[in-house]
Chains A and B, each alone.
Chain A
Amino acid sequence: MGKYLDLHVIPRPEDTESCERMADLLSTARYATVGLTVATGLLNERIRSMRRIFEEHDVNTVLRADFKPGSRTELLRLLRRFRNLYDVVAVRCLNQQVATVSCRDRRVDVVFFDVGNRNLRFSHTFARLLRGAVEFNLVSDLMNQGDGWVFSRTRKAITVAREHHVNVILSSGARNYEMVRSPFQISALAMTLGLTQEESIRGVSSTPLSIVTENRKKRAPEYVEEGVKIVVPSRR
């Protein structure tokens, strides 16, 4: 079993065949865990069947929610309502206000920026505020809008992230099996765009793993708050 994680995989729950093929390729590419991005209103039964497909192919799954709030108030409402239900909470930053709050709020694990949005980018201001990690969906961003402008924009964002030593997560953002890439390729793309080899390997392995582990610990029933947990007395 590999040690790599792809924290942003967006399968279509209604298309079982595509899910099967995606799971097969992710397993071939030696991913140990994937972050299944699901809609917040999706039925539990659907989620369970989708997870079962991936787990049958020896790929562990964590549930991830992507929020796309239009305002600060909406973001806070979504976090209050859904934070406890998902292993990973990510925010797609659509405007300055949402980006500022999501970078600062510790309930947000991952923030990512839309490369197509010319008015907002991952800047020094956000890097200074960031508590979680910034994510680069290299495959989906570069494949869908693969012009030079997108490459230069991603390169600049990576430079800012390196300068401020923020946690960087590298994901595929795969929506179907044709967008699945191996961790070697994702880290190679990041290296081409300016990360070092160590940083890029960390981006597909230890950094996302630490987020998942930390959140699982927080979602455990004995967890009360940071530094406080219920210790069950031993039966000796």
Chain B
Amino acid sequence: MRPMTRRYLLVKVVCDRKLTNEQFHEALNNSARRYFGELGLSRIDPRIINFDAESSTAIVSCERTATSEFESAMALITSYAETPMSLLVLHVSGTVKGAARRKK
């Protein structure tokens, strides 16, 4: 059986306020839960690999089979704690290294 593989996404955070790692994680989870439910969230299994508040970029990962769901959930984020916020997926890679390379 093929092992469960993951996809790594380079994301740009567009928000007027500086977010912490926890707040960013909460925003991701809330959106995935809202649009795909608890079962969908468990299938997506989002994780933050690296969040850089200074450059407003992050590398996040999800299950390979649920990449489009995760990207959709991120596309539908409009605000966090009443502050307008949006996420742009800039690159999708099979390795952390590949996603990090695009960040530079």
Contact = CB atoms under 8 A, between A and B. Distances in A.
Interface of A: 25, 28-30, 138-139, 142-143, 146, 177-182, 184-189, 191-192, 197
B71 interface: yes
Contacts of A197: 68
A182 B70 CA distance: 13
Given A143-B78, A178-B78, A192 B88 contact: no
A15 to B, nearest CB: 15
Contact of A192 (B72, B78, B89): B72
A188 B88 contact: no
A5 to B, nearest CB: 16
11 contacts: A178-B78, A178-B84, A178-B86, A180-B86, A185-B72, A185-B75, A185-B88, A188-B71, A188-B72, A192-B69, A192-B72
Given A185-B89, A188-B71, 12 more contacts: A25-B88, A28-B90, A177-B14, A178-B78, A181-B88, A184-B71, A185-B72, A186-B75, A188-B70, A192-B68, A192-B69, A192-B72
Interface of B: 12, 14, 67-72, 74-76, 78, 84-86, 88-90, 92
B90 A139 contact: no
B76 A28 contact: no
Nearest to A185: B75
Given A142-B76, A146-B76, A177-B14, A182 B68 contact: no
Contacts of B70: 188
